[in-house]
């Protein structure tokens, strides 16, 4: 064991409380993912292990594998998109908005600490919602706000290219050819082989695609509603399912740890950063999933797995999108019971009455009162709440309306 050095505060206290209060202010508690503002995009730097950048509504952060986060940028601009350059890993590009205006395209050459505008973009300043740089030719990049724009000089000048036929959520550039671009759109996954001018469907389904990513080895990952996370090589586009256990979650940004292509990161639309160490088969929250801490919650977990999980998903992620739910607007999916949607807007009493009495609106949510006691229902609720973060726990029920409701720190 290492010798424990007396910490600075206890040394100061040795000289008397007055000195301590005069010279020592408590270090801010380490930030975790729960404390982050809205995260819009993630990116892993080239050639570094276990480091993930998070572009947020208030600046750039970096996350470590234990789920701790630290702010990297000196300012708090709102980033909507982020891309790490593959050849010089200290270079990052981003776009978004400050309090008063769009940022255009901004660059950092010191791993995200200081930033300056590289270009306003065509007709700008633009606020690209997605930005992608070619790995083979880092001078070539694409961004999307109203239109798809491209740059062939490292982001200094931009020109409008096309209106992609459907709303674009995410762009990626081929690992082989800088003129081949992928777009995850409202009507599915599209590909252009002429630098973004003409587009065609790449995946046979026309369900919305929310994310597309190309790794340096040419592996394309995409998230398609109703299919989940899928992947194919650029050489054959033979799509294979990777994982469909996302429930109501849609992945919106994706990164591969540069040290290891089994080590993946993903951001969902509920501000959660997930990680997989088995090539995408199973996913956990970065820093580890929350676990039930009490006897009641552990008992509730078993009941949940027996009676509820088939519809509400493992760990309360909600029911997967299916062909049926995507085609039939009246189909009511079993909602997430973790804190990603609105289960936490209900009080324990309300949740218990839904469980025991069922839902009139959606008969699939049957009344469980002939199977489960009120204690069983409360134990299941204790389990559900073990999946919730500090804000949902502190502001459950009517208090969710109070924008100022904050968890205690
Ligand atoms: C056969 C599928 C199915 C099973 C099994 C099921 N549910 Fe549901 N559940 C639903 C559906 C569908 C809804 C949506 C009801 C609605 O919107 O009115 C729902 C709604 C709920 C809600 C309301 C959530 C909200 O945010 O308003 C709760 C709480 C809930 N279920 C808990 C449970 C629990 C606990 C179990 C197990 C004891 C369970 N459900 C089992 C399908 C199911």
* Matching residue, tokens 């809205």: 38
Ligand 1 and 343: CB distance under 6 A:
yes
Average of per-residue pLDDT values in the chain: 91
What is the chain's length?
A: 409
Q: Ligand 1 pocket, 300 CB below 6 A?
A: no
Residue 146 buriedness (CB in 10 A; 0-12 / 13-18 / 19+): exposed
Does the CB atom of residue 327 touch ligand 1 within 6 A?
no
Could you tell me the strand order of the sheet in which 52-56 lies?
A: 31-32, 68-71, 59-63, 52-56, 39-43
Compute the distance between CA of residue 191 and CA of residue 177 in angstroms, rounded to an integer.
12
- Using pLDDT thresholds of 50, 70 and 90, give the confidence band for residue 7: very low
Check if 355 has its Cβ closer than 6 Å to any atom of ligand 1.
yes
Three-state secondary structure call for residue 196: coil
Which ligand 1 atom is nearest residue 342's CA? 26
Three-class SS of 205-266: CCCCEEEEEECCCCEEEEEECCCEEEEEECCCCCCEEEECCCCCCCEEEEEECCCCCCCEEE
Per-residue pLDDT tens digits for 321-341: 988 898 898 999 999 999 999
CA 293-295-301 angle, to 5 degrees, is: 80
**What distance in angstroms lies between residue 312's CA and the mean position of ligand 1's atoms?**
7
Q: Parallel, antiparallel, or unpaired for β 52-56 and 228-233?
A: unpaired
Does the CB atom of residue 368 touch ligand 1 within 6 A? yes
DSSP lists the bridge partners of residue 276 as 264
Strand (E) or helix (H) holding 148: strand 148-151
Q: Is the CB of 356 under 6 A from ligand 1?
A: no
Look at residue 18 in the predicted model and tell me its pLDDT: 40
Helix, strand, or coil (residue 292): coil
Taking 80 as the threshold, does the pLDDT of residue 36 lie above it?
A: yes
Which structural domains are found in the chain, ordered by start? 31-285 (2.130.10.10), 295-401 (1.10.760.10)
> 374-386 and 295-307 helices cross at what angle (nearest 10)?
100
- Which one-letter DSSP state was computed for residue 19? H
**How far apart, in whole angstroms, are the C-alpha atoms of residue 372 and residue 377?**
7
pTM of the model: 0.90
- State whether the beta carbon of 332 lies less than 6 angstroms from ligand 1: yes
Give the whole-angstrom CA distance, residue 403 versus residue 134.
41
- Alpha-carbon distance of 270 to 38, in angstroms, equals 9
Element (H, E) at 392: helix 390-394
Q: Are 63 and 286 in contact (CB under 8 A)?
A: yes
Choose which residue among 365, 368, 378 to substitute to test ligand 1 binding: the one with the highest number of ligand atoms within 8 A of its C-beta.
365
Reported as a pLDDT band with limits 50, 70 and 90, residue 27 is low
In whole angstroms, give the CA distance from residue 245 to residue 323.
15
pLDDT in tens, 287-322: 999 999 999 999 999 999 999 999 999 999 999 998
CA 305–ligand 1 middle distance (angstroms): 13
Percentage of the chain with pLDDT > 70?
92
What are the tens digits of pLDDT across the range 85-100?
A: 988 989 999 999 888 8
Q: Measured from the CB, is residue 313 less than 6 Å from ligand 1?
A: no
- Pocket perturbation via mutation, ligand 1, pick of 296, 311, 348, 371 by most ligand atoms within 8 A of CB: 311
Residue in 301, 312, 313, 397 to alter for ligand 1 test, most ligand atoms within 8 A of Cβ: 312
Q: Give 381 Cα–ligand 1 centroid separation in angstroms.
A: 12
- Residue with CA at minimum distance from ligand 1 atom 15: 362
């Amino acid at each position: 064991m290492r010798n424990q050095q007396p910490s600075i505060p206890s040394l100061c206290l040795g000289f008397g409380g007055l000195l301590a209060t005069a010279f020592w202010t408590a270090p801010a508690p380490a930030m975790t993912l729960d404390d982050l503002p809205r995260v819009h995009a993630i990116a892993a730097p080239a050639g570094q292990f276990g480091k993930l950048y998070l572009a947020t509504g208030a600046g750039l952060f970096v996350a470590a594998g234990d789920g701790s986060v630290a702010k990297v940028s000196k300012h708090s601009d709102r980033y909507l998109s982020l891309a790490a350059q593959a050849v010089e890993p200290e270079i990052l590009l981003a776009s978004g908005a400050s309090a008063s205006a769009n940022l255009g395209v901004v660059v950092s050459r010191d791993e995200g600490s200081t930033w300056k505008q590289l270009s306003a973009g065509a007709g700008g300043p633009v606020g690209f919602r997605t930005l992608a740089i070619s790995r083979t030719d880092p001078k070539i990049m694409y961004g999307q706000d109203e239109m798809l724009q491209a740059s062939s000089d490292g982001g200094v000048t931009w020109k409008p290219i096309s209106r992609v036929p459907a709303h674009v959520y995410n762009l990626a550039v081929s690992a082989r050819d800088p003129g081949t671009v992928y777009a995850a759109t409202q009507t599915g996954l599209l590909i252009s082989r002429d630098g973004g001018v003409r587009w065609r469907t790449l995946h046979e389904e026309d369900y919305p695609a929310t994310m597309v990513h190309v790794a340096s080895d040419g592996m394309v990952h995409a998230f398609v509603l109703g299919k989940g996370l899928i992947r194919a090589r650029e050489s054959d586009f033979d799509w294979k399912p990777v994982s469909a256990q996302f429930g109501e979650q849609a992945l919106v940004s994706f990164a591969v740890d540069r040290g290891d292509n089994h080590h993946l990161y993903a951001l969902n639309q509920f501000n959660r950063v997930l990680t997989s160490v088995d090539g995408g088969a199973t996913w956990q929250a970065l820093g580890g999933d929350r676990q039930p801490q009490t006897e009641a919650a552990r008992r509730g977990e078993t009941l949940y797995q027996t009676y509820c999980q088939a519809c509400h998903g493992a760990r309360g992620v909600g029911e997967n999108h299916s062909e049926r739910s995507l085609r039939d607007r009246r189909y009511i999916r079993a909602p997430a019971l973790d804190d990603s949607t609105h289960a936490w807007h209900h009080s324990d009493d309300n949740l218990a009455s839904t469980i025991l009495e069922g839902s009139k609106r959606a008969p699939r949510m049957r009344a469980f009162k002939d199977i489960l006691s009120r204690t069983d229902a409360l134990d299941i609720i204790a389990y559900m709440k073990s999946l919730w973060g500090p804000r949902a726990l502190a502001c459950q029920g009517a208090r969710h309306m109070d924008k100022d409701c904050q968890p205690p720190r």
